[in-house]
Amino acid sequence: MIEVLAVVEAVVLAYAVTSLVSWGVKKLLDLWGSRSLPKQEQQVAMSEADMKEIEKSKEVIKECFGEDAVDTLRKSTNLERIDLMAKFADRLTKEYDLDIDVDITVNNVQNCGYYDWEHQKAVFNIVLLMVDGNNEHFDYCVKEVLDTIVHELRHAVQHKAIREPGYWNVDDERRMAWANNMAPGNYITSSSNLKRYSQQPIEADAAVFAALVMEGAC
């Protein structure tokens, strides 16, 4: 069994060595470095309930990864990283009181994950964590994966809040703005217009929520 796992790990690692190049971001990271959401883009107001959960989410990150998530993951094996991320996603799902399916995968789909609104399922692709811990952009890999988990679970929170008034104390104006964004023809995909994608209500809200959770987290 140990041998089988070692082989799996070796194959995953062999793939991972090139994954930042195949991910298409190596040149951009070399040029721009890892980025945080700029303050001037954090214009979406967070409620008291949001701020409370943002603080709790930061605590969950510490519980799962210790004081320095990048360092913890850098020192972990690929299999340990997969396990840590599965536990983190599960822990946050419970913290947010979500009844959704969560899948952790390692594949080459060129994004870190998504929330499937129809099937109420979050899928997280942690291939970026298969990169060698000594990679110069390992901090970007950790940040992207953690940010995506928080961001996509925020969509699940939005979904539940739209359906269940009272959940998370989201006011009606906001619930309706989110519902309107999801009405036919109103959602803007990142592949058609990245700028408008980032500014629409549900994406701007999820981006700010995740950015505030990630602030100081790694």
Binding region for another protein (CB under 8 A): 23-25, 27-29, 31-32, 34-38, 40-41, 109-118, 140, 144, 147, 162-163, 172, 176, 179-198, 200-201, 203
Longest CA pairwise span in the chain (Å): 56
Residue 146 class from Cβ within 10 Å (0-12 exposed, 13-18 middle, 19+ buried)? buried
> Residue 73 or 201: which CB sits closer to another protein?
201
Choice between 99 and 118, CB closer to another protein = 118
User: What is the closest distance, in whole angstroms, from the C-beta atom of residue 113 to another protein in the complex?
Assistant: 7
- Indicate the residue among 72 and 198 with the shorter CB distance to another protein: 198
- Residue 3 C-beta: closest distance to another protein, Å: 35
Contact present, 154 and 206 (Cβ < 8 Å):
yes
Q: Which residues 6+ apart lie within 8 Å of 215 measured at CB?
A: 36
Residue with smaller CB distance to another protein, 53 or 152:
152
The Cα–Cα gap between 79 and 89 comes to 16
91 half-sphere exposure, CB direction, 13 A CA radius: 18
C-beta of 20: minimal distance to another protein in Å?
Answer: 12
Min separation Cβ 41 and another protein, Å:
5
In terms of CB distance, is 134 or 184 closer to another protein? 184
Q: Which of 176, 155, 158 is nearest to 168 (CA)?
A: 158
In whole angstroms, the minimum distance from the beta carbon of 1 to another protein comes to 34
